[in-house]
Amino acid sequence: MGASDHPRVNPWIVTISVMLATFMELLDTTVVNVAIPHISGNLAASVDEGTWVVTSYLVANAIILPMSGWLARYLGRKRLLLTCVAGFTITSVLCGFSTSLEGLIFFRVLQGLTGGGLQPLAQAILLETFPREKHGQAMAAYGVGILLAPILGPTLGGWITDNYTWRWIFYLNFPVGLLSLIMIQRFVFDPHYIRRSPGRVDIWGIGLLALGLGSLQVVIDTGQKKDWFSSDFIRLFAVTCVVALISLIIRELIVKDPIVDLRVLKNRSFSAGVFLITQLGFVLYASLVLLPIYLQTLLGYPAFNSGLALSPRGIGSLFMMPITGYLVGKTDPRRLMAVGLVLGSTTMFAFSHLNLNAGYWDIFLPQIFQGVALAMLFIPIMALAVSGIPKEKMGNATSIFNLMRNIGGSFGIALMTTFLTRRSQFHQSHLAVHTNLGNLKMRDMLAGLQAAFQLRGFSPFDAHRRALAAIYGMLQQHAAMLAFVEAFWVMAVMFALLLPFILLLHYSPPKPPSQPAAQPPAALESVPSENQPEYEQDLVLH
């Protein structure tokens, strides 16, 4: 069957076909995080060892993601998509069957390798399935997976782990993957310009890419635990990362058939879009990690409830996605982005005013608006960034685009958790200096706490010791709260500083459909009408 013989398929059927697997893969990226303590305990490993279940997946995912455009050209896009979905589904089941940590990590690497190509492939297929004037709707459908999966992941993972077992996190991928395989085989076809090109394989490019991105992911994921560059382990991987990535850039710019075509970054609008999506990934994933930590450590929320507290962001995004998708085709998307950045900055400033007495509604309302802001940002950026990219290069462009969003998210989580730890230590030492028994209020607080402990049956010595420990605990709480306030303030400023970069995105209004040319009057009079009198019909015919 030739490319032109492919049956016409409703674009929304294609959307469901490719987004089923993509949503499954995105969900799996975050759903495992909350199950790490259960996995570690079940497989007789420490929590630190258990984190490699997440790290191994992210490293493999980061390596394969930018290669997906080249792999689609080499293998054929539909064939690659079917391979990725089948591989991800099978390795998910094998992860659930694992009886040792080593086996689980091995299958997680395979799962990351097969799942890494799903995001850019799905985005490229949607952009090609929908006409240009409906790219906003296509990216709205794609944005549902991008924004909702990281929000639902921790909640779903916590619920499954608490009520069943961590193995069901992986088993549930099987029916979803099977349905996706059937739908892709039935409804997705390669466009005519996607041809298998069994040219030379850039072995050096693949090696440098794997070494550079793999080392980068290891540095990001383990840097905070090992105190960053004070560790020889981190320094070794950091140097390896820099050397490998610089070598990769040089090689990919001079080789004839690069594994990652960096020349696409010459498009100003695409480069600006990549920069903006990297920063938004930073803020989105960082805030997704910081809020649950704040709720659990300072407000005492259980893990499931803290995950559930993130749901308003998903509600806001889900409400605004179709509206933004429609408006992108009707107005200048940069205006929507400006509103989204202002709204996102405002919600982060609202989070920076939280305190130890914050209630659920103090968190609920800002998250609704933040979800609205993210929908107004992700969809226009994705639509404008690729608007000037030729269709035959779309797969390569979406690979780079999704890679940088993920790297931005990884940096956001790593840097903001480090910022939180360091600023908590700073505020703790600062508050400790001003906490002394020479202060009248401090003496009154200590006496009141000591009396309360004595009433509970403790000796004067034990009561005094426990009172001091309680005061130190309150000091730690206040220090952590100040660090959270600063972290949210920093992210609010980051949102605001992105406003000028919107102007770098190119927008050209869609051209109105051309009107059919008016026919000359003579042509209209060449056929007699049944309602005309006979003499008039004779005049027309003769």
pLDDT in tens, 156-202: 777 777 778 888 888 888 998 899 899 888 888 877 666 655 556 77
Angle, vertex CA 200, rays to CA 113 and CA 112, nearest 5: 5
Is the pLDDT at 491 greater than 50, yes or no? yes
- The model's confidence at residue 490, banded by pLDDT at 50, 70 and 90, is very high
- As a whole number of angstroms, the distance between CA 542 and CA 523 comes to 14
Higher pLDDT, 109 or 519: 109
DSSP state of 510: P
pLDDT tens-place string over residues 290-308: 887 788 778 877 766 776 7
Interval 19-47 mean pLDDT = 76
Q: What is the dihedral of CA 467, 472, 473, 477, to 10 degrees?
A: 140
Share of the chain above pLDDT 90, in %: 9
Report the alpha-carbon distance of residue 429 to residue 187 in Å, rounded: 62
Query: Rounded distance, CA 111 to CA 55, Å?
Result: 12
Higher-pLDDT residue of 542, 500: 500
Asked whether the predicted pLDDT for residue 7 surpasses 80, the reply is no
Q: Which residue, among 148, 159, 193, has the nearest Cα to 23 in the 3D structure?
A: 148
436 pLDDT above the threshold of 90: no
What is the distance, to the nearest Å, from the Cα of residue 235 to the centroid of all Cα atoms in its chain?
28
pLDDT of residue 193: 62
Lowest-pLDDT range, 236-245, 398-407, 413-422, 427-436? 427-436
CA angle at 139 for the pair 121 and 13, rounded to the nearest 5°? 70
Average pLDDT, the chain: 79
Spatial CB neighbours of 168, under 8 Å, sequence gap ≥ 6: 96, 160
Say which residue, 98 or 297, is predicted with more confidence: 98
- Name the band, by pLDDT with cuts 50, 70 and 90, for residue 393: confident
Provide CB contacts within 8 A for 23, sequence distance 6+.
Answer: 144, 145, 148, 149
Q: Give the separation between CA 355 and CA 361, rounded to whole angstroms.
A: 13
- What confidence tens digit (pLDDT) does each residue in 312-363 have? 887 888 888 888 888 887 888 889 999 999 999 999 998 888 888 887 778 8
pTM for this model (two decimals): 0.74
- pLDDT in the model for residue 528: 46
